Structure 1
């Protein structure tokens, strides 16, 4: 098969969960609930931050970026998973598969980059509290957001171009109900060395470098806190990092597990690969809004007030964020 044919007429076959084909419709229920929780939770975070001016601070701007990234990651798999689990529609064209692969990896890279930006936010807030607002101005935050988007999309374009020049003459059955780069690569019958080298470069520059820098930032935070603060101040400062540390762990731990299985788990059961990939893609968007709503005081208060207003005054009465209400709301960072 020529590369030209592989890009024009090639179609891949998606799969559900190996060995559980008869239960796929029932298994769609927990996936549907995860989609619902992820969409509802992250949209709520965005709405709360947008509604209340007392949340218009750098920490919550970065949290909005994380929620937006989680929404993008959730929506990236939405077009194919329901059709596989509910309608047994397995086929996906090569261009659509490339687009989905691009979206999944781009939003994964963005999530890593946003977590790094949030670590820098915590470093500045704890180590340079008096200069916090001067360092993290709205203009600089917007520049960081634009840099994250460019970093995580433009660097993927060469990978897409390399894939379009490949031909596929082996089995066209993928391992998941969505398209991933590693999964497409194993079906190629041409030399995959350029793709492997470039993919490894991206992993080193983003998915390896980011957690290393996050670790460095927390080492500096701990050194600063232990060197200058009292016990109560230490606990208060470190408490502001709990939500971010939780988000870091639930993102990077499944990612590392999935990478190990893909590279070294050749004899592992197919269901383990599928399970780890689903944990990597679905759990962070579901848990991040819950973690920040439970552990961040101002987010929790904003969600509570918003829900109470929607239930108590549907379509009438005082609007969220009005002057009467804002007079009683606390100021400052969580």
Structure 2
């Protein structure tokens, strides 16, 4: 469909961006415009997004119920998986229903509190997941490099303390991002060219200088994520070195199967992050709609696929899911 045919849709939305003739009039709510150049395609895009959303919610909910009901899964690693599933469920419920409401019912308006709450969830949960992957990498490292000491190091108490530390630290360090953005003065423009309340997409609408906001997000985000990825890389370096020293037949294969699922999860997580970073760097050369689509998919693909990977590759989880299905029947 040509762009000339889509222009009337954009013209009907544009006046809402400046509801008053006074350009300094305060703004009390935002208008989310998904894919400004391809609005007529949005209802088609909602179909795969809906399927991915249902898959993500179903997979994570099933894993949580399975771990809760199966006594054999009362182990530190599966508690960390439960934390990841809980984070993914909250993140999906915070972001995706609003996107689908825009596609299906044209409900583009979002209030200030809802927008900044969504911004806090997105900015805090990403480093929380990254830090959880780092703890899981340490779990793999201890299991392979120090198997005899594993029961005394990776305990339920260790996982509980690590989980509390992960959530509190990352929430505390990322909460200034939505606070700084909410303190900006918004006048006149209220149209967010995005499906979600991303920090920079919102702060660009303000009449103030948002340099401090942008610098803090950059420093905090890369400090948290960068440190996690360095520790993950070191853990797998030691794991690989230990595997090369194994002399017993099948020992390396067993070690690889132990950490294979975790490595695939990290691969999904880091690949999408890398794509987003590269596109942001080449922002002027890449269409805005692609960047918006990747932002939405980043909140759907890892939650949908990560738990399926663990369910397929982990024998204990497969057995637990089979028991759960038998109970429901």
TM-score, length-scaled by structure 2: 0.87
| Runs of 4+, deviation exceeding 4 Å | none
For the pair 1:271 / 2:279, whether they are aligned, the reply is no
Q: What does residue 26 of structure 1 align with?
A: 44
Partner in structure 2 of residue 55 of structure 1? 73
Partner of 1:322: none
Spell out, residue by residue over 1:146-172, the C-alpha distance to the aligned partner (whole angstroms, 9 max, x if none). 011102211122222211221234743
| Deviation (angstroms), 1:188 | 2.9
Match of 1:125 in 2: 143
Residue of structure 1 equivalent to 2:125:
107
1:142 correspondence with 2:160 = yes
Distance 2:38 2:325 in 1: 39
Q: Deviations over 1:180-228 (max 9, x none)?
A: 1122233233222211221122112212211121111100111122124
For residue 92 of structure 2, the aligned residue among 74, 88, 110 is 74
Matches within 5 A, 1:206-245: 206-245=224-263
1:92 matched to 2:110? The reply is yes
Aligned residues: 307
The secondary structure found in structure 1 opposite 2:110 is strand
The DSSP-based 3-state class of the residue aligned with 1:133 is helix
Contact 1:13–1:172 (Cα < 8 Å) also in 2: yes
- Taking the aligned partners of 2:79 and 2:307, their CA distance within structure 1 comes to 14
Q: CA RMSD in A?
A: 2.0
Q: Which moved more, 1:192-201 or 1:48-57?
A: 192-201
Specify the alignment match of 1:310 in structure 2.
328
- 2:265 corresponds to: 247
1:13 is aligned, of 4, 10, 31, to 31
Q: Do the aligned partners of 2:25 and 2:188 also contact (CA within 8 Å) in 1?
A: no
1:72–1:107 Cα contact (<8 Å) kept: no
SS of structure 2 residue aligned to 1:80: helix
Counterpart for residue 329 of structure 1: none
Structure 2 unaligned spans of 5+: 1-19
| Offset at residue 59 of structure 1 (A) | 1.4
* In 2: Cα distance, 1:158 partner to 1:166 partner: 13
Q: Which runs of 5+ in 1 are unaligned?
A: 312-334
Aligned to 1:43: 61
Describe the shift of the 1:299–1:99 C-alpha distance in structure 2 as closer, same or farther (beyond 3 A): same
